[in-house]
Structure 1
Amino acid sequence: MLPSWPWVTGVAAGLVSLHFAQKLFFPYFWTDLKFLLKAVKYGVTMEIHRLSGRIWTVLDKFVTLAEKQPDKPFLVYEGKVHTYRSVDKRSNRLAQLFLKEGTLKRGDTVALLMSNEPDFIHVWFGLAKLGCVVAFLNFNIRSRSLLHCISSCAPKMLVVGADMLGTLEEILPGLQEDIRVWVMTKESRLPHANTILDKLEVSSDDPLPVDLHIVNNLKDPHLYIFTSGTTGLPKAAVISHLQTLKGAAGLWAFGATPDDIVYITLPLYHSAASLLGIGGCIELGATCVLRNKFSASLFWSDCKKYNVTVIQYIGELCRYLCKQPVKEGEKNHKVRLAIGNGVRTDVWKEFLHRFGNIKMCEFYGATEGNICFMNHTGKVGSVGRTNFFYKLFFPFDLIKYDFQKEEPIRNKYGWCERVKKGEPGLLLSKVNSKNPFFGYAGNKRDTEKKLLRAVFKKEDIYFNTGDLMVQDQNNFLYFWDRTGDTFRWKGENVSTTEVSDVLGMLDFIKEASVYGVSVQGYEGKAGMASVILKPQRSLDLKQLYEHMATYLPSYACPLFLRLQEVIEVTGTFKQQKFKMVGEGFNPTAISDPLYFLDNLKKSYVLLTKELHEKIVSGEMKL
């Protein structure tokens, strides 16, 4: 018997109403659910592997791909193709060489000081095949900071690229004697430096015994990646196999496929390029086009030349591309996905207008953090979305923060308080067995400092990201600012403590306070230092410039200098930077002498009203 028409009509009307209600009140329900199910599927797959008694790492996936698709290009570098098989065999040669030398054993740490080149990956994979933990060193840092990084991860060995020999020569006198040094050359004039390339020619490319690198626990360390965090000198963030696998899933989660060609110009010592980029290509079985250094003028021609379909970016990279002169045929490329973080809303819009229908996949995640947001909807300016389901798996909160005291606000009962939607709050991520925080190598004090306890109840433990975020009424999240003694410039985190220490080495400076200031038209904040001179001493601007250029990477050198007689402090004797940050670098509003770092004159020069106007108008490039 057929159902009566009124009943059918009622059901249809109900379904239509439900559909419109969902569109009106939960417009992102299905896209959120689809994305969440994708993430859950990946997690379930990892758990199945674990329960089967064989943990499947990124390295295991690569070795399997080298067997399944040996002739497929894995890396393309300066026009030369490196197949999955050739990368596998060269990494075997390196592993066999170090194994034969007998200096390394499973679990040892090896520090890697190399720029973007295929051998960075060969060495990384070769050492991983020996079960070693690899520490990625930032090749921009020098002298004391570099020695600090090396000593903090306690390596048995240091491997240095051929183009880094000058940096190595600077630190050799201060390097611990028990650290063996290997250089990617056939010969070397440096004392106690072992050469690799001459020995590699006769090294076997046979596979290594699997038991050397088999992983029994996903929480075991795989890499150390250095981060400034929010305070102090660079710290070696412990990157576990679990984090490596999660990072490798990023390209796949945003919709990349095995047929994609991924263009990486970011430095491999960063997690974005190594975990998301290289790891992501392995997760997909895709091809990576690697460039030694980002070039704004050659970016799109490279994309066309190599048929690139996916690019990685940071905000500065997008801004540099938008600043390039407009050329005919800028949209004539195959790029469909751009994956990265830190792009401003205005640059985002201009980028799409200039370069075509590219899906911008913005995400948020700290190197050492236990939380990640991904903007899977393409909402301009947002770093991602949250919802009820997401918070079940990845619990987090935005809490009230005292900007002057630089600490979370607690109520009369001692508990932190959540901010309302639309208000900036400090992002905290709950630490539990599913979302652990692995901390920093050999640094219990700084590891503990990143944890916030008794947040809403006594037993709470949260990871303090040090980042301020805003959540809007539709549950989109937006990055607002950084807290602590770190600011971001040219895509790099700058430690104010490190810069202050370097300034303090000068014999005419009594005290220095370093902070970041906003500059119109630029991402992040530019470095500024307020200094007090020692009695009867004068400010040597040329010596100051030379000192900064010698001991700091270019992005960390303070662009602005403020000469003061007294630096204000808080009641607990902390430097009062909040007021100085707000005052910026405007010579018409500040009575103290101000100076600007002039690279053409290789000196700091007086910051005049005219020079200030050129900087804020964009006529003077920073």
Structure 2
Amino acid sequence: MNQTTQHDLIGIADVAAKIPAFISKVPNLLSGLKQAYLRTPNTPAGLGLAFERAVKRNPNGFALLFEDQKYTYTELNQWANQIGHYYLSLGAQKGDVIAVMIENRSELAATIIALAKIGVTAALVNTAQTGKVLTHSVNLVKPIALITGEECRAAVDEVRDTLDLPVDRFHWFADQATRQHPGRAPKGYINLAEAIDAFAKFNTPTTQSVKGKDGLFYIYTSGTTGLPKAVIFTNSRWTLAYGTYGHVLNLNPDDVMYVTLPLYHATGTVVCWCGVIAGASTLAIRRKFSTSAFWKDVQKFDASAIGYVGELCRYLMDAPPSGLEKGHRVKKMIGNGMRPNIWDKFKERFGIEEVLELYASSEGNVGFSNVFNFDNTVGFSPTPYAIIQFDKEKNEPVYDKKGRCLKVKKGDVGLLVGKITSRSPFDGYTDQEKNKSVILENVFKLGDRYFNTGDLVRDIGFRHAQFVDRLGDTFRWKGENVSTTEVENIVSEYSKISEAVVYGVEIPNTNGRAGMAAITLLTDIELNDQDCKDMAADFKKNLPAYAVPVFLRVQKQVETTGTFKYQKNKLKEQAFDPNKTDERILVLLPQTDAYCDLTADIYTGIQAYKYRF
């Protein structure tokens, strides 16, 4: 859990000291805020419109860099237009959904822009999904087509018969530079690079008809029922991020932002990319994050800004010093999850001047951004919110005698809730029951409504906060939200396991929480060495890498409450410390293919950061 000091608390004098450096950003920020807030649900808005404006501002400047590929704003716009015209010719209409499963590369960027321009909602499928989870994610949003890259085709082929799509709506991009070499489509797929070739390159006629209330994309987030939830991200919400985060970053056409975060997540495709489009700057992307290639790419692309999550920062800090980490143009970074204990060290080592840490969630209505460039904070929020007292044991807010919530004092930790208003609406999930479960009513007075973020934050003053922890049935690991129920379902399918309880535990020197499963075996069953290998293989096959449990605790029986809820608090407190239980604990060490018993020596090694999880 993050620690705070008196030094972290912010007052008027602290803000006043930041004003001189902030003034240079004001004109650009005011322009952004005008676009963000002077809008209605029926105002033309969104990524497509903003991108076309960027094309006019910087037609011959580079919009996108990937590997050795380079596309100017004009070229990327023409490519997107051809994709858009093609789908319009198939009868695609505003409000339709198309599922997109492509790794970070040029084809993904062009596709997202194209669908934004024609008002089709892009369902940005996590490229790590397979099997039942993938089927659920696609069918949930009722798409009219699916676009996949060759790199994801095997996962699609595996579940193709379970997808609710016409046989002629499976579209495909080769895993190469398809503008130059379209490739040859496998049987059962339409080669999208070839199909669009005959279509016009001028702007689609639909961009101005896309309104703020219209869906831009679905982003998938873990839920408590075990399968991903599809969160609708409207054009209005993207415009809000564009007008705030995008303009605070203050990029210009000479800037290049390097992003290794997956574009199926909001941090990459909303936060980072909106800053690039706001500045008519260049987006440089990599398929997947690589510690060893990071600073090489920064130099190659001449990057001046980077996108990050906390885990990425830790990996870079853990890497041995390199001459490439100095002498670059990077002075700004934007993202979330920077740990307070490395904040200053990171800035000093890599020459960073501005950390635009922020807080937001795909489904939420409250956001913070570090506009004043303070250290150790998710920043300032202009949106209406409250930080309320929360009882972790009862897992509910603290109420006064009148049944109203109580705000925390400055310096204290509480539950963050966002007030639902016309200017900060809650767009919600596809699941209406889920929507009801995250809305708190009559919080401070009769009739008010707040979105429950499920996050504990610290009030450090002047409408600034520090992120502390996440509540509920998800935890964060490797920069991803992990659904405990989804993992429980997969773990419980192993032949010798009757029941599993999954929770997150903290490992020293890492971000977030690693997965741990307390498992109960079938009667008179023991786990042998082959089981330890088979379980690891089974979990890796059926779960994304970040969701595979790092620890297993073998229990005789699962403890539950009187209402049959799992007793997770005790399990979390004992974590994987062998001194706190006499039950068997297994660990999946990095770069291994089997669980092994967690010995005293291994436990000591984990505490000493001998193993890099």
Give the TM-score normalised by the residue count of structure 2: 0.91
Answering whether residue 201 of structure 2 is matched by residue 206 of structure 1, we say yes
Is the 1:248–1:277 contact (alpha carbons within 8 Å) kept by the matching residues of 2?
Answer: no
Once the two structures are superposed, residues 481-509 of structure 1 have per-residue CA deviations (whole angstroms, 9 ceiling, x without a partner) of 00001111111110101101111222322
Aligned residue in 2 for 1:197: 193
Answering whether residue 77 of structure 2 is matched by residue 88 of structure 1, we say yes
Once the two structures are superposed, residues 482-537 of structure 1 have per-residue CA deviations (whole angstroms, 9 ceiling, x without a partner) of 00011111111101011011112223221110000000000000000001112233
Using the TM superposition, give the Cα deviation of residue 28 of structure 1 relative to its aligned residue in structure 2, in angstroms.
5.7
Which of 558, 571, 584 does residue 575 from structure 2 map onto?
A: 584
Aligned residue in 2 for 1:61: 50
Using the TM superposition, give the Cα deviation of residue 174 of structure 1 relative to its aligned residue in structure 2, in angstroms.
2.1
Once the two structures are superposed, residues 70-128 of structure 1 have per-residue CA deviations (whole angstroms, 9 ceiling, x without a partner) of 2211001112210111111111222233333x252332100100100010011112222
In 2, the alpha carbon distance for the partners of 1:177 and 1:545 equals: 33
Which of 399, 406, 429 does residue 395 from structure 2 map onto?
A: 406
Is the 2:410–2:459 contact (alpha carbons within 8 Å) kept by the matching residues of 1?
Answer: yes
Is the 1:422–1:471 contact (alpha carbons within 8 Å) kept by the matching residues of 2?
Answer: yes
Which range is displaced more, 452-461 or 473-482? 473-482
Is the 1:74–1:82 contact (alpha carbons within 8 Å) kept by the matching residues of 2?
Answer: yes
In 2, the alpha carbon distance for the partners of 1:532 and 1:408 equals: 32
Letter of the structure 2 residue corresponding to residue 410 of structure 1 = Y
Structure of larger gyration radius: 1
In 2, the alpha carbon distance for the partners of 1:142 and 1:323 equals: 31
Letter of the structure 2 residue corresponding to residue 300 of structure 1 = W
Aligned residue in 1 for 2:606: 615
Is the 2:272–2:334 contact (alpha carbons within 8 Å) kept by the matching residues of 1?
Answer: no
Aligned residue in 1 for 2:114: 126
Answering whether residue 255 of structure 2 is matched by residue 260 of structure 1, we say yes
2:208 is paired with a residue whose SS is: coil
Aligned residue in 1 for 2:559: 568
Aligned residue in 1 for 2:546: 555
Using the TM superposition, give the Cα deviation of residue 207 of structure 1 relative to its aligned residue in structure 2, in angstroms.
2.6
2:328 is paired with a residue whose SS is: coil
Which of 206, 219, 225 does residue 219 from structure 2 map onto?
A: 225
Using the TM superposition, give the Cα deviation of residue 267 of structure 1 relative to its aligned residue in structure 2, in angstroms.
0.6
Using the TM superposition, give the Cα deviation of residue 145 of structure 1 relative to its aligned residue in structure 2, in angstroms.
1.3
Which of 263, 274, 286 does residue 291 from structure 1 map onto?
A: 286
Aligned residue in 2 for 1:13: none
In 2, the alpha carbon distance for the partners of 1:496 and 1:489 equals: 12
Distance 1:473 1:278, change over 3 A: closer
Aligned pair count reads 590
Distance 1:333 1:238, change over 3 A: same
Answering whether residue 516 of structure 2 is matched by residue 519 of structure 1, we say no
Kindly report which structure 2 residues correspond to 1:533-544, keeping only aligned pairs within 5 A, or say none: 533-539=521-527, 540-544=531-535
Answering whether residue 489 of structure 2 is matched by residue 501 of structure 1, we say yes
In 2, the alpha carbon distance for the partners of 1:263 and 1:306 equals: 8
Aligned residue in 2 for 1:114: 102
In 2, the alpha carbon distance for the partners of 1:139 and 1:25 equals: 42
Letter of the structure 2 residue corresponding to residue 412 of structure 1 = K
In 2, the alpha carbon distance for the partners of 1:467 and 1:35 equals: 30
Which of 158, 161, 179 does residue 149 from structure 2 map onto?
A: 161
Once the two structures are superposed, residues 9-58 of structure 1 have per-residue CA deviations (whole angstroms, 9 ceiling, x without a partner) of xxxxxxxxxxxx9748965678789978865653434566769x962433
Using the TM superposition, give the Cα deviation of residue 277 of structure 1 relative to its aligned residue in structure 2, in angstroms.
2.0
Using the TM superposition, give the Cα deviation of residue 333 of structure 1 relative to its aligned residue in structure 2, in angstroms.
1.0
Is the 1:403–1:578 contact (alpha carbons within 8 Å) kept by the matching residues of 2?
Answer: no
Letter of the structure 2 residue corresponding to residue 187 of structure 1 = R
Aligned residue in 1 for 2:127: 139
Once the two structures are superposed, residues 224-245 of structure 1 have per-residue CA deviations (whole angstroms, 9 ceiling, x without a partner) of 1111256642211111111111
Aligned residue in 1 for 2:233: 239
Distance 1:379 1:48, change over 3 A: closer
Using the TM superposition, give the Cα deviation of residue 289 of structure 1 relative to its aligned residue in structure 2, in angstroms.
1.2
In 1, the alpha carbon distance for the partners of 2:557 and 2:274 equals: 50
Answering whether residue 426 of structure 2 is matched by residue 429 of structure 1, we say no
Is the 1:22–1:29 contact (alpha carbons within 8 Å) kept by the matching residues of 2?
Answer: no
Aligned residue in 2 for 1:5: none
Aligned residue in 1 for 2:139: 151
Using the TM superposition, give the Cα deviation of residue 437 of structure 1 relative to its aligned residue in structure 2, in angstroms.
0.6
Is the 2:363–2:427 contact (alpha carbons within 8 Å) kept by the matching residues of 1?
Answer: yes
Letter of the structure 1 residue corresponding to residue 550 of structure 2 = L
Gapped runs of 5+ residues in structure 1? 1-20
Answering whether residue 315 of structure 2 is matched by residue 320 of structure 1, we say yes
Letter of the structure 2 residue corresponding to residue 86 of structure 1 = E
Once the two structures are superposed, residues 258-297 of structure 1 have per-residue CA deviations (whole angstroms, 9 ceiling, x without a partner) of 3211111111101111112222211211111111111111
Is the 1:96–1:203 contact (alpha carbons within 8 Å) kept by the matching residues of 2?
Answer: no
In 2, the alpha carbon distance for the partners of 1:50 and 1:74 equals: 29
In 1, the alpha carbon distance for the partners of 2:357 and 2:519 equals: 38
Using the TM superposition, give the Cα deviation of residue 608 of structure 1 relative to its aligned residue in structure 2, in angstroms.
0.9
In 2, the alpha carbon distance for the partners of 1:82 and 1:423 equals: 49
Is the 1:66–1:88 contact (alpha carbons within 8 Å) kept by the matching residues of 2?
Answer: yes
In 2, the alpha carbon distance for the partners of 1:47 and 1:411 equals: 35
Is the 2:536–2:594 contact (alpha carbons within 8 Å) kept by the matching residues of 1?
Answer: yes
Distance 1:326 1:459, change over 3 A: same
CA RMSD, Structure 1 to Structure 2 (Å): 2.5
In 1, the alpha carbon distance for the partners of 2:12 and 2:595 equals: 60
Letter of the structure 1 residue corresponding to residue 557 of structure 2 = V
Is the 2:84–2:204 contact (alpha carbons within 8 Å) kept by the matching residues of 1?
Answer: no
Using the TM superposition, give the Cα deviation of residue 139 of structure 1 relative to its aligned residue in structure 2, in angstroms.
0.6
Using the TM superposition, give the Cα deviation of residue 361 of structure 1 relative to its aligned residue in structure 2, in angstroms.
1.4
Distance 1:371 1:38, change over 3 A: farther
Using the TM superposition, give the Cα deviation of residue 254 of structure 1 relative to its aligned residue in structure 2, in angstroms.
2.9
Aligned residue in 1 for 2:342: 347
Relative contact order, higher structure (CA 8 A, sep 6+): 2
Using the TM superposition, give the Cα deviation of residue 395 of structure 1 relative to its aligned residue in structure 2, in angstroms.
1.4
Q: Give the % identical residues.
A: 32
Aligned residue in 1 for 2:7: none
Is the 1:94–1:203 contact (alpha carbons within 8 Å) kept by the matching residues of 2?
Answer: no
Aligned residue in 1 for 2:453: 465
